[in-house]
Structure 1
Amino acid sequence: MATPGLSARRTSPGTDSAPGAPPRPVPWVAPLLYLAVLLAGLTAAAHNGSLATAPTAAFVAGLLLLLLLERIPVPSRSLALLGARLGLIVAVTALDDSGLSRALLVLVPFTAYFAFGRTAALALAGGCVAVVLALYTLSDPAWYADPAYVSDLLMLLIGLVLALAMAAVAIGEQQGRARLEEYAARIAELSATAERNRLARDIHDSLGHHLTAVAVQLEKAAAFRGHDPDAADQAVADARHSADRALEDVRTSVRALRDDRSAPLPLPSALADLVRQLDDGRVEVSLRVDGEPYDGPAGPALTTLYRAAQEALTNVRRHADARRVSVVLTFGADSARLVVADDGRGFRPGAVTGFGLLGIQERTRLVGGTVEIDSAPGAGTRITVEVPRTGTETDA
């Protein structure tokens, strides 16, 4: 398992780290501790009458250098930086009249936790305790019998424990923020992908259908121009109507993108319009609506049925070479079902890779519905789409 100091990959806010760098120590801990040691040392020097002496000046200079090291943009994993900090802390401790400077030793494992991980920090914490014990032994072999020495050692141990715990908590918080940023970026990317897919389905299902209708009607007009001018004129009028519908669909899509609202869709009448466009005399199209249509504007579920019918009828016009097509819309208590069946040439469902059927399946899945495609070469096609009455579109 990677240590906390090595596992962070992203920069979290407030850490002042470059991307890919390990977490940075909490920035206010060291300066606050330096300030406390400075005030304690100057107070002790003033009490002892040594405030204006060279050792006190060196003590202050050492603390200022330590503070400067916190601000210099040296790589946080530099052993030289850690060694310089440790040397300055030892020097400041030797010059301090108050004895509080020993508390600065906790900064060594605290900083090492961020730079080198938990194992290195624990080792350095043990080393700090060993150094203090060695100094105690050199100054007073019977130090363990002096309550002051024992109290100072216990305070150092408590300080080391708290410093290591704070470092662990800070690293966990920084890594948590980094993971949240990564998750947010992934969600934004997935949302953008879902929106692109939705727009692709809308363009294919809506504009593709109307442009197909325009092309068919214009072909009909060209074919009938010579011997049936009235039929040709009607075909041109139908083509113009399909072009107007395409333009209206574009405007509706733009409005939906601007204010995220969809216009009401009376599904039975919309299907009747689709059927009328397909019924050009060469294909017999029937529409049957069973059950009571749902009140109120259509939601994503009924819009899915409309788009499915639109795509199915477009495929009939383009590929099926059918003579009869039936469209059956059934409103149930809990769901609505659309069945589009034709007697055309059929196909193998697994061999078709176009956007149309894929779009039907994607739309239906998003509202919690189901799609069944029953077809075989020469046996016609039957597409059944069923959606729940309260289906709500998701980004799944």
Structure 2
Amino acid sequence: MSRPVPWIPAVLYGAVLLGGVYYAVIGPGPGARTAAFAALLSALAALDLCEPRQWRGRRIPAGAVFVLRVLLLCAVAAVDESGLSRVLFVLVPFLAFFAYGSTVAIGLGVGCVAALAGAFTLWVPHWQVRAEYISDLLMFALGVVLALTMAAVAVREQQARTRLEGTLAQVAELSAARERNRLAREIHDSLGHHLTAIGIQLEKAEAFASLDPQGSAQAVSHARWSANRALDEVRASVRTLGPESESEPAGLARALADLVHHLDGGSRRITLDMSGAERRPLLVLYRAAQEGLTNACRHSGATEIRVDVAYDGRGARLQVIDNGSGFDSVDEGFGLTGLRERVRLAGGTMAIDSSAGGTVLTVGVPW
């Protein structure tokens, strides 16, 4: 595990070096031991700056680097005349926490405290009744506890950051997938509908070319209208690529009237009935009408289709009713699946009642 707080050892090395040099200046004076003290501390700092897994072109196990660091700490303590270097041993459990985990770190922390107490016992007679040594031991033990606590906090913070980065990556992926699905719905509901309408009108024009030239010309005109409308909606989507509200029709009543007008005719009769006061255009209802009319005209063989829109104080409701052959609910295609998702995102409801006598598509959207 990498150390999330690599600056702590460097700060301790610098503080101990300044304290040891200051002690030598005001005390016995700088000498060979002071030079060795400074050199060993510099070696420790250099060890931390080096890559822990790479040394002289060979891979070195993390455990070997850790042992080398402990040996250097012992050497620093051996040449230190001020006794300040023993504070550096709090780094042993601190660094072990990142390398080996909390259990080993706590064991090394207890061992360091016991080692200091053993050193006092061997070299300081009656230290148990001398306040300065008892204070040193207690302060060292407190330093070990604080070092372990800091290591635990740093590890948890690093883990939380890793989880957050993973979550953000998932959010970005889901957002991209949601945007792709939205664009796919737009292409199907807008461009797909108009292409279907163009196909229907051109088939009508071809069928009535010799029998009803005027009706054939009208069908071609309607196909041209659908093509222009498709181009306008593609341009709007490319221009905005924004929320659905930005591309809502200027008025639902007018948009539905145009839609019905350019699909009506031939062997098919489409009627539109709207009741209540329109508060604002609702793109989801327009897309629902497109999907219902496209399915009724292309797949059901319906001769009578009715589009009903009702507004009240709670919201708006649209129904597309046809007398076609109906379909099995398990045969729902991408269009109806996408419409369900669109209605769900708008907080509305959608129901389909289909049988051999016809189909009723109902979509309700709250204000």
Confirm or deny a common fold (TM above 0.5): yes
Aligned runs of 1:76-95 on 2, under 5 Å? 78-95=62-79
Say how many residue pairs are matched: 360
Check if 1:97 corresponds to 2:48. Answer: no
Counterpart position of 2:13: 34
| Partner deviation per Cα, 1:196-230 (whole Å, 9 max, x = no partner) | 00000000011111001111111111111122222
Check if 1:47 corresponds to 2:32. Answer: no
- Higher relative contact order (CA closer than 8 Å, sequence separation 6+): 1
Identity level (%): 51
Counterpart position of 2:133: 149
Whether contact under 8 Å (1:107, 1:163) holds in the other structure is: yes
Whether contact under 8 Å (1:323, 1:342) holds in the other structure is: yes
TM-score (norm. length: structure 2): 0.94
Whichever residue aligns with residue 339 of structure 1, its letter is: Q
Whether contact under 8 Å (2:204, 2:266) holds in the other structure is: no
For the residues of structure 1 that align with 2:232 and 2:90, how far apart are their CA atoms?
Answer: 71
Check if 1:365 corresponds to 2:350. Answer: no
Whichever residue aligns with residue 369 of structure 1, its letter is: G
Q: Please, which of 186, 189, 192 is the counterpart of residue 176 of structure 2? A: 192
Whichever residue aligns with residue 144 of structure 1, its letter is: Q
Root mean square deviation of aligned Cα? 1.6
Aligned runs of 1:1-396 on 2, under 5 Å? 22-51=1-30, 53-75=31-53, 78-257=62-241, 261-262=246-247, 264-295=249-280, 298=281, 302-349=282-329, 351-376=330-355, 378-389=356-367
Q: Offset at 1:258?
A: 6.7
Whether contact under 8 Å (1:109, 1:122) holds in the other structure is: yes
For the residues of structure 2 that align with 1:175 and 1:28, how far apart are their CA atoms?
Answer: 19
- SS state at 2:241 partner: helix
For the residues of structure 1 that align with 2:4 and 2:276, how far apart are their CA atoms?
Answer: 68
For the residues of structure 2 that align with 1:50 and 1:264, how far apart are their CA atoms?
Answer: 89
Whether contact under 8 Å (1:77, 1:116) holds in the other structure is: no
Whether contact under 8 Å (1:265, 1:303) holds in the other structure is: no
Q: Offset at 1:347?
A: 1.1
For the residues of structure 2 that align with 1:345 and 1:145, how far apart are their CA atoms?
Answer: 102
Whichever residue aligns with residue 262 of structure 1, its letter is: S
Stretches of structure 1 lacking an aligned partner (at least 5 in a row): 1-21, 390-396
**More deviation, 184-193/40-49:** 40-49
Whether contact under 8 Å (1:337, 1:384) holds in the other structure is: yes
**Taking structure 1 as reference, are residues 179 and 128 closer, same or farther at Cα in structure 2, changes over 3 Å only?**
same
Q: Offset at 1:140?
A: 2.8
For the residues of structure 1 that align with 2:34 and 2:226, how far apart are their CA atoms?
Answer: 92
**More deviation, 321-330/38-47:** 38-47
TM-score (norm. length: structure 1): 0.88
Any runs of at least 4 consecutive aligned residues in structure 1 with deviations exceeding 2 A, and if so which? 47-50, 258-265
Whichever residue aligns with residue 290 of structure 1, its letter is: S
